[in-house]
Amino acid sequence: DLTVECIDDVPAPIDLTATDNCAGDVVATPVDSTDSSDSCNIVVTRTWTFTDSCNNTSSVSQIITVSDTTAPVAPAAPADVTVE
C-alpha cells in the first residue's frame, strides 16, 4: 500500500505476473477503482486478477491513498503603505 500527496503522484499501473501450476506464467493488467467522495483524501484501489486457462482466478490489491497534507506556501506580503 502507498500514500502520496497529490493525484499526479499516483504511480502508473504495471502488469504483474503470477505462476500457475499448469499454465506457467499468468499476466494481469490492473483495474483501478477510485473513491473521490472526499477530494482531500482520495482512495485508489488497484486490483490485479489472474485467470488461468481453466478459469481459476486469484487476485491481489494495492490501496493508494492520496492525502494532501501540505499547506500552500504564502508569498511575501506587500510593503506597508501610508496614505493621507
Output the pTM of the full model: 0.82
How many domains does the chain fold into? 1
- 70: pLDDT confidence band, cut at 50, 70 and 90? very high
Stretch 51-74: mean pLDDT, rounded?
A: 95
Order the strands of the 57-67 sheet from edge to edge: 2-4, 57-67, 41-51, 31-35
pLDDT digits (tens, 9 = 90+) for 11-58: 999 999 999 999 899 999 999 999 999 999 999 999 999 999 999 999
Tell me how far apart the alpha carbons of residues 18 and 7 are, in angstroms, rounded to a whole number. 28
Q: Is residue 44 part of a domain?
A: yes
In single-letter form, the type of residue at position 25 comes to D
Tell me how far apart the alpha carbons of residues 25 and 51 are, in angstroms, rounded to a whole number. 10
- Whose cell is 477510485? That residue is 34
Q: Is residue 39 part of a domain?
A: yes
Q: Is residue 43 part of a domain?
A: yes
Q: Is residue 79 part of a domain?
A: no
Domain containing residue 59: 2-67
Tell me how far apart the alpha carbons of residues 70 and 74 are, in angstroms, rounded to a whole number. 12
